[in-house]
Amino acid sequence: MRVLGIETSCDETAAAVVENGCRLLGNAVTSSIDLHIRYGGVVPEIAARSHIEAIVPVIEQALRDAGTDWNGIDAVAVTRGAGLGGSLLIGVLAARTIAIAKHKPLYGINHVEAHTYANFLTDASPPGYTMRAQQPGFPMLALIVSGGHSQLVLFRDHFDYTLLGRTSDDAVGEAFDKVAKILGLPYPGGPSVGKKALDGDPFKYNLPKAHTSKYDFSFSGLKTAVLRLAQAEIGEDFTFPSKDLPQRLSERQKADIAASFQRVAIETLVDKTVSAYEEFRPKSVIIAGGVAASPELRRQLSERLPHSISYPDLKLCTDNGAMVATLGCFKMLRNQPASDPSTLDINPSLSM
């Protein structure tokens, strides 16, 4: 059983073919990120236009890489939310058109739920992937951390889960992106702050951890604390414009601020994950979403969880079609209802 997965919720245009929910056959991703860098964040209008240009070549590439034509595809899965409305629309319309023209069942997919499914891939035929040895067992505790989401979810089984906690303001990836802007580091902030932090002292500054209810997160206070710290470091007050900070901060100060911020942001995620682990004693713990690519998150989790943890390939942490196709496979395998290809709609604020 093979599913084509399509993902266009943000700046990546992605398509992939997955077999039986475990084997990646073809994975094509292109990103309009270069067009957004000068704006310091994704510009929805530019992202949507780029998807229009890229969607057909990306789908064709995924099929070619998988060595199949439409006869070898049993269903189409597509991200219908959460994400940018104009971007989601391109993927959903492409998937609906394919489903109707090629007579395939169609599955509308929740992007955040799909991120966790990168962990169910154990085999890849394209070269260059480091895959998990086996699929995670249930109950499964999932830390889902991206540019739009920070949440802890307890899965009892496929399609049977409880949201334990979420962020009440910024997502952790968003905090990385905003701190990168304050320090004059390139977008996306996760990798650039992580790289700068390698040269810094993570204990140089004492940044605050938010007090939230049990498994909830909050990152906007931390981001503001970084801004105030940067202003104080150059001897200015809160009225100093953040856009002028990068040229006044030394490379040493930037590295120490990046390292201290990263330590506290990641510690917050790990504190809550360890507490949830102790309360629910799951069979497996997984991390998912763009921030799951963070080496610091992996290091702290390995150090503090009394449980070994397997990670998805870095290329499967950020947005991709493989996670969408994998969840589509499980929907088909578990007889979940398919979507109507003439009416499937986007939902930019879809939650778990």
Site residues for Zn ion per CB under 5 A: 146, 319
Distance, CA of 206 to CA of 222 (rounded, Å): 11
Distances (CA, A) of 110 to 82, 85, 190: 7, 14, 23
Among the listed residues 21, 136, 189, 282, the single contact to ligand KG4 using CB under 6 A: 189
Q: Does 293 bind ligand KG4 (CB under 6 A)?
A: yes
Cis peptide before 255 (omega within 30 of 0): no
Residue numbers 208-267 binding ligand KG4 by CB under 6 A: none
Q: Tokens 């930037």 label which residue?
A: 254
Token pair in block for residue 129: 């992937």
Token pair in block for residue 41: 């964040």
Least spacing, CB of residue 312 vs Zn ion, in Å: 13
Least spacing, CB of residue 12 vs ligand KG4, in Å: 7
Q: Tokens 């650039």 label which residue?
A: 192
Q: Does 108 bind ligand KG4 (CB under 6 A)?
A: no
Least spacing, CB of residue 281 vs ligand KG4, in Å: 28
Sheet with strand 2-7: strands edge to edge: 106-110, 75-81, 2-7, 12-19, 23-31, 123-124
- 17 in helix, strand or coil? strand
Among the listed residues 13, 61, 146, 260, the single contact to ligand KG4 using CB under 6 A: 146
Task: Mark the segment that binds ligand KG4 (CB under 6 A) among 96-104, 132-140, 190-198, 216-224.
Answer: 190-198
Q: How many beta carbons lie within 10 A of that of residue 34, not counting itself?
A: 9
Nearer to ligand KG4, 193 or 338 (CB): 193
65 binds, among Zn ion, ligand KG4, none (CB under 5 to 8 A by kind): none
Q: Does 91 bind ligand KG4 (CB under 6 A)?
A: no
Q: Does 311 bind ligand KG4 (CB under 6 A)?
A: no
One-letter amino acid for residue 227 of the chain:
L
Least spacing, CB of residue 131 vs Zn ion, in Å: 20
Residue numbers 318-337 binding ligand KG4 by CB under 6 A: 318-319
Distance, CA of 6 to CA of 327 (rounded, Å): 11
Nearer to ligand KG4, 2 or 120 (CB): 120
Strands 12-19, 23-31: pairing is antiparallel
Task: List residues binding ligand KG4 (CB under 6 A).
Answer: 10, 146-148, 173-174, 176-177, 188-191, 194, 289-291, 293-294, 318-319
